[in-house]
Amino acid sequence: MAAMNPSKWTFLENALIAIAFFYLLFVLFFKLEVVDEESADNALISFSSFLPIIAVKIIGLIIYLFSFRLVFIANSSFKFVENAKASFIVLPLIFAILFPELLVRLEAIISLLLLSSTLLVLIQLHQQTNAKVILFSAALLHGLALLFNVQLLWLFLFFIASIYILRGIKIKDLLVSLIGLFLPLFYYVGIAYLLNYSNYHIDLNFSFTKIDFKDNWGFISLLLLFVITAFLSAGQTFISRMKMTVRNRDQLSVYYLYAFGALLLAFFSDSFLSVACLAIIPLSLFYGIMHKKFSKVWILDSLWILLLIFYVLVDNAWLKLPFLVTFA
């Protein structure tokens, strides 16, 4: 049987992205009405409640999409895989459709952007030039992320582990990293003191989170494909990295570390979604790599499209078969 024309792969991928993007816009601007303030509980800086809801939605969407633009930039800079363009945005779009309330948690979205920036800067450490500047910049970005979710301090342990992977641990590197990490907090506390502002708290305690899911088969089907695809992407990328350069293998190891750290922290955080979304950064990279390596990628894209359409029908009650609407 003849292989499917690559142009048809591109058509299916573009169709998938178009359907996902326009449905996300529909959900965000026509279905989602309330600003979710859950992420503000762990934020030292919070302003979602001070902005009009339409502004929150627009800003949240732009920052969210730009966060994954940085993943594309990382691949373009370090050539993990050739000619992978649009595929990096697939998992982020699906995740946002499944959990659209994330996009109105501006504090969570800003921390997502800052962590994506942290990773982009940190993986440059393998070049060895200007190592101290790179370390300080990456740690500073991580420190800025803490202002929007203080529980991300625990992820700094994976930052230190990443340094070890990329160049080995030195005392000077640790000192530079710690200075960069705590500098934003130092300025925040100083300004808060000068302004006599004390209405903030830092909660680093662990607590098992409660996860609420929609009880319809459209959601469950799409979520299941998302989880399976995420695991397959991570597995395929791990296999593919064996054929990459030492630099690329080490850089991908950093993304694996942060994926594991974000998911681990999410299950012990009181704001699961605001932390779990951070794992989508490395997963989007893994998906982009797998998408170029998978010989039957058109099957995956077709399945995405079918389940996405099914989800849209069920989510809007346009498909009202009782056994499909709920599984109670």
In a domain, 208, yes or no: no
CB atoms within 10 A of CB 265: 23
In a domain, 210, yes or no: no
Find the helix or strand (DSSP H, E) in which 21 lies: helix 6-26
pLDDT of residue 51: 85
CB atoms within 10 A of CB 169: 11
In a domain, 31, yes or no: yes
Give dist(CA 29, CA 220) in Å, integer. 23
Tell me 32's DSSP state: -
In a domain, 280, yes or no: yes
pLDDT at 224 over 80: yes
pLDDT of residue 305: 94
pLDDT at 52 over 80: yes
Q: Which residues of 48-83 are buried (b: 16+ CB within 10 A; e: fewer)?
A: beebeeeebbebbbebbbebbebbbebbeebebbee
pLDDT of residue 276: 92
Minimum mean pLDDT range among 63-77, 82-96, 143-157, 203-217: 203-217
In a domain, 209, yes or no: no
Q: Residue 188 sits in which domain range?
A: 6-202+217-325
pLDDT of residue 18: 94
CB atoms within 10 A of CB 171: 7
**What integer best gives the mean pLDDT of the chain?**
85
Radius of gyration of the chain (CA): 20
In a domain, 212, yes or no: no
Give dist(CA 112, CA 116) in Å, integer. 6
* Residue 76 three-state SS: helix
In a domain, 55, yes or no: yes
* 70 CA to centre of own chain: 11
pLDDT of residue 210: 55
In a domain, 155, yes or no: yes
pLDDT of residue 2: 42
Residues 115-143 have a mean pLDDT of: 91
Minimum mean pLDDT range among 5-14, 42-51, 142-151: 5-14
pLDDT of residue 37: 56
Q: Predicted confidence band at 115 (pLDDT cuts at 50, 70, 90)? A: very high
Give dist(CA 182, CA 317) in Å, integer. 49
Give dist(CA 103, CA 61) in Å, integer. 6
Q: For the chain, how many structural domains are there in total?
A: 1
pTM given for the model: 0.89
* Residue 34 three-state SS: coil
Residues 73-102 have a mean pLDDT of: 90
Half-sphere exposure of 108 (CA within 13 A, CB side): 31
